[in-house]
Amino acid sequence: MTRTLILLRRRLIGSIFVLLIVVIGTFLLLESAPGDAVDAYIASTGGDAGMIELLRHRWGLDQSALTRLANYLWALLHLDLGQSVTFSRPIREVILQRLPNTLLLMGSATAVSFGLGSALGIYAGARPGSFRDRFLSIGSLAVYAVPGFWLGLVLIIVFAVDLRWFPIGGIESLASGKTGLDRAMDIASHLVLPVSALGFIYLALYLRMMRAGMAEVWRQDFVLAARAKGLSRRRIVLAHVARNALLPLVTMLGLQSAQMLGGSVVIESVFSVPGLGRLAQEAVAARDTPLLLGIILTSAVLVVIINLLVDIAYTVLDPRVGASEASA
């Protein structure tokens, strides 16, 4: 237990610096993009010089970039994410509304890709070089090579437009008034296609990693020893070969969660899922700096938490990890 706590403390201190760098970096990046929130706004409305000046003043854009950054950081210190000019609402509220959708989408997709990917990987890796191994490896590579949005569109055309098994998009039926289990089922049916599109692409990654790892482990001496001991093949595959090949997958899981947030921008747009990815895209187009910073901070915190969980999982899966700190 103490091992985990030490890890936690070390990670938290590191994370604060990471987050600060992320915030300042994003701010400067968006600041150097041409055009500001008012330019983005008047692109759709038009307006005269007086109105433009009025808007710049009202949205605080007549202050210098440094003042705005300082104000933002000061507010952040008080855990205030500020006000979105795009939505005229507190940013915390806007993000909290979208976050569950992204988490649901990302979580399910990760579970599918990790679960199914490693299971298939074990199946393929149990007999490296066999027909089923070749088939799965090549098949998964083919899926991995497909761009996510294209897979999404194909799924929509086949399963939503032609077969009409699933809805084409959204997170739930519009203003349906459903509650409880009905609503959960409704959301689940809306998630099938986007989760498949997002999950299948990363599935290949886990499958191939698992398979490659197992192919490696098969050659180790302890596998020979296990065989000599007369263990069943099933036991050798699961308890000895697969478990040892699992560790890199867990590392991958942490890294990939960050990537999944990025991948969901595209999938969220294609499937009209109101999540964080789409919000980020809108924030950039509208040059809504505080909103984008809020989203990036949220994602960064999310990634930090997931990686922390991965580290903790590591200490459980592999007793060697963190042993030095515990004894110190």
Partner 1 sequence: MSDVTISRRTVLAGSASLLASTALPTIGLAQTPRKGGRLVVAADSEPRNLNSAIVASNGVFFISSKIVETLAEASFDGKDGLEPRLATGWEGAADGLSVTFKLREGVKWHDGKPFTSDDVAFSALQIWKPLQNLGRTVFKDLETVDTPDELTAVFKFAKPTPFQLIRNALPALSSVVPKHIYETGKIEENPANNAPVGTGPFKFAEHKPGEYYRLEKNADYWGKDQPYLDEIIYQVLPDRTSAASALEAEEIQLAAFSAVPLADLDRISKVPGLKVITKGYEGLTYQLVVEINHRRKELADLKVRQAIAHAIDKDFVVKTVFLGYAATATGPVPKNDPQFYTADVPTYAFDVAKANALLDEAGYSKGDDGKRFSLKLLPAPYFNETKQFGDYLRQALAAIGIDAQLVNNDSAAHIKAVYTDHAFDLAVGPPVFRGDPAISTTILVQSGIPDGVPFSNQGGYKNDELDALIAKASETLDTAARTELYKEFQKKVAADLPLINVAEWSFISVIRDTVGNVANNPRWAVSNWADTWLEG
Beta carbon of residue 259, minimum distance to partner 1 (angstroms, whole number): 21
Beta carbon of residue 49, minimum distance to partner 1 (angstroms, whole number): 4
Binding part of the chain for partner 1, among 10-18, 140-148, 170-178, 203-211 by CB under 8 A, reads 170-178
Give the nearer residue to partner 1 in terms of CB position, either 125 or 152: 152
Of 45, 64, 324, 327, the one binding partner 1 by CB under 8 A: 45
Of 52, 119, 247, 321, the one binding partner 1 by CB under 8 A: 52
Site string for partner 1, 295-324 (x = CB under 8 A): ------------------------------
Of 18, 22, 24, 42, the one binding partner 1 by CB under 8 A: 42
Of 133, 287, 294, 307, the one binding partner 1 by CB under 8 A: 287
- CA-to-CA distance for 155 and 5, rounded, in angstroms? 44
Give the nearer residue to partner 1 in terms of CB position, either 13 or 163: 163
Of 39, 186, 318, 325, the one binding partner 1 by CB under 8 A: 39
269 binds partner 1, rule: CB under 8 A? yes
Binding site for partner 1 (CB under 8 A): 33-37, 39-52, 58, 85-88, 94, 97-98, 153, 156-157, 160-161, 164, 167-171, 174-175, 269-272, 274-275, 278-279, 285-287
